[in-house]
Structure formats: structure tokens, C-alpha cells
Structure 1
């Protein structure tokens, strides 16, 4: 969202005394990090940031910035949901954040993701494969002779896992004729490149 839209959402929340739950999971890995909505409506926004996407997959840890008036409600909700954090992960994360190693890790993550996205752009038509330069997912729109489910099955049979647009459709909305690519899932760029070559061949089959 643009800064203008973020400000507009904040203004509506303030005007009508609404609260916002802002998902900042991918905020820090964007190429251009924009101010969070919470910046413009701090007393109306519950901001959640996860570390598994911006730092390391194994860090199943998130932080929640909560306005004081919501603090007791959030505490009770987390208690009732029986959500707990591994003390080891909390300690490890603190040791990374305090000496400013966090910024270095995020910068390296962005650099690697940019290189992987360049591979995607090389093998797949950029206009049909939507996503940001530092995005860890891409959205591949398919030719009309494929449905998302068909393409997912054909790719799986050749050793490449993608997810059909139908997996992300909500309610009665028709799913996008597309598949989602997790470009950071492969262990190496070489593995990603092999998968992209296979996907391009499948697209060009007909």
C-alpha cells in the first residue's frame, strides 16, 4: 500500500474509534520499507511482526506492539490460546537484535532474495510473474489451457512444488488462474534454477 492509503486507513480508525491489526510479517524485507500504519495511528493499531520470514525460517517467534488500552485484552487472549514462546528462541533472538546483527541479517536476506528474483525474471515472463524485487513469493499467471490445479499436479509430478490459486481463494470468489512460487524455499539458487527451467518447459508444452 502507498503511504497515502496507509494514512487514510489510520485517519478512518481515529475518526471512528476503530482498531487495526497490522500484519508486518513481510514489512522489513520490502525493497523500500514504508512507514507502518501504526506510525500514523499508534493508539489504534496492534502491530505484529514475525521473524521467520525476515530472519530465519526456524525462528518461530513474533513480537506484538500493543497500545496500552488493549494490553490486558491481548494478554488474556494469548493466555487463553495457550500461546507460549521457547525461552531458547527468545534468548537467541535478543542476542541478535541487541548488538544490531538483525539489520545485517535482513540486508543479506534481501540481497539473496533479489538474486533469486532475477533468476525468476530470466526464466519466466516478468509481466506474467508478479512480485516485488525482494519478495519471497511470486504469483505466476497461467496460459488459458491450464488451471491452477492442473499446473500444480503436473509440476509436482516433475518434482516441483507450487501452490494453485485455488488454495488462496476465500468464499465463493473464483480463484485466480495462477500458482504461487516460493522462491526462497529451495536450498540454493541452483536448485531454484532447475525448478524454473522445469516450470518454463511445462508452460511451453502446448
Structure 2
């Protein structure tokens, strides 16, 4: 009511980076508020499509004002960077035109590859195998970081790790990078300055080629967590 927003961007199923799944009641309340105040909703379901969560999408609760965004790069293959938007029908042409103006359009060969993967059923088969591999990696991560506070999801390629004293998010990221492991600090996900500090990092585990490589990286993180600030003197 104070700011009169025109648009809200939400990631209600397997939120990045917190892995939160918004309950149905909250989704319905947001949809009602959006209708009452003329707010359009963008629903990012990139990770939600992997979660097998049965909570109704915002797009099914408020189809008249929700733009549902999904794609293949997270659930099928990182190199297949094609996606789609489901929207109120009268917006379809405007979205196509706007997409071309902003990006130049999706290359034909990539669009054709995405379409054939989906229509042939291959995308679904690859997705199932990807989820199986991710589940194994999640279990490895849970075992290697046992005893520490983190959020994880069986089908998500990352976890949200709370840092023990005296670590700060940016300092831990630098220490991990020094030892050859790249993580995302919490500032990567903040849109602006704020008073809230989480002292967390996002640890992704889809990039390592083997379980051994993943385990080695997680062991480095565990050593840093266990040794605290003494493991990193802050020097470059």
C-alpha cells in the first residue's frame, strides 16, 4: 500500500539459497494480495521442478496474473540453456517480442534441441537420472558436514550452511577459495543493504565430476569450519 509495486518475484518451491518451500496458505494469501492491489507475479520454478513437491503452484492459484518461469539448465543439463514462460494468454505475444528485443532471441539450434528433448521424453529421462545423482551427492554432503547446521533438500544441488563462530560469510568464502573451493557468500543473494545478517554460505555440489572430488572439497570446508578463524589469517 505504501510503495505501490507493480510486480513481485517469488521462488516458492526450493527457494535459492534457503531451500524453503512456501506453504499453500502463504501462497494463497500472496495471490489474494496481488489481486487486490493489481500486482503481477513472477514464479521462478527452476528448482521446484526437481522437488516433486505437491504444493500447488502460484500459477495454478492465480493463473490470471502469474508468469511461471522454468527451464532445462538446472534439471536436465547445464549446457541446455533454454526455458519457457507460462503466462496469461493475452501476454504471450508481448513476452515473445520483449524477449527478442532484450536477448536477440534463442538460437534456433538450441531452441530445437530443447523442444526435441522435451517432446521426445528424453528430457524427463535425463531429469530422473540427474535427480538420482543429486540425491547421492546430497547424502555425501550431509555425511561430510554432519554436526554442523545447514539446510538441504534431497533433490537440490546445493545446501545453505550456517557458519560457526567466529566466521563471517565473506571471510569464509575467501578462506575456502584460497584452499581451492568456491562457495557463495550470503551477499550474492541480497538485492540491497540490510540489517539482517545470516552468517551463511551456499555450498553447491553439482560441478565436481566425481564423488571423490566432491568429498575432497567438502573435507576442506569441514576443516575450515572446525578450525575457525585460526584456519584463515585474512592475508592475501
- TM-score, normalised by the number of residues in structure 1: 0.91
The number of residues matched between the two structures is 206
The range that moved more, 72-81 or 34-43, is 72-81
State the 1:31 CA deviation: 4.1
- Secondary structure at the counterpart of residue 34 of structure 1: coil
| Match for residue 197 of structure 1 among 202, 206, 219 | 219
**What is the SS of the residue equivalent to 2:160?**
strand
Matched, 1:8 2:20: no
**Residues 7-86 of structure 1 mapped to structure 2, 5 A cutoff:** 7-86=28-107
Unmatched tracts of structure 1, length 5 or more: none
Q: Which residue number in structure 2 is paired with residue 180 of structure 1?
A: 202
Gapped regions of structure 2 (runs ≥ 5): 1-21, 229-236
**Any conservation in 2 of the 1:152–1:164 contact (CA below 8 Å)?**
yes
Shift of 1:3: 2.1
1:130·1:140 contact (CA, 8 Å) conserved in 2? yes
**CA RMSD for the aligned pairs?**
1.9
Q: Measure how far apart 1:25 and its partner are.
A: 1.2
| Residue in structure 2 matched with residue 133 of structure 1 by the alignment | 154
Distance 1:170 1:21 in 2: 16
Equivalent in the alignment of 1:89? 110
Q: SS state of the match for residue 176, structure 2?
A: helix
Counterpart of 2:131 in structure 1 is 110
State the SS of the aligned residue for 1:204: helix
Deviation for aligned residue 1:127: 5.7
> Per the alignment, in what secondary structure is the counterpart of residue 48 of structure 2?
coil
- 2:19 corresponds in structure 1 to none
Q: Tell me what 2:232 maps to.
A: none
How far is the alpha carbon of 1:4 from its aligned partner? 2.3
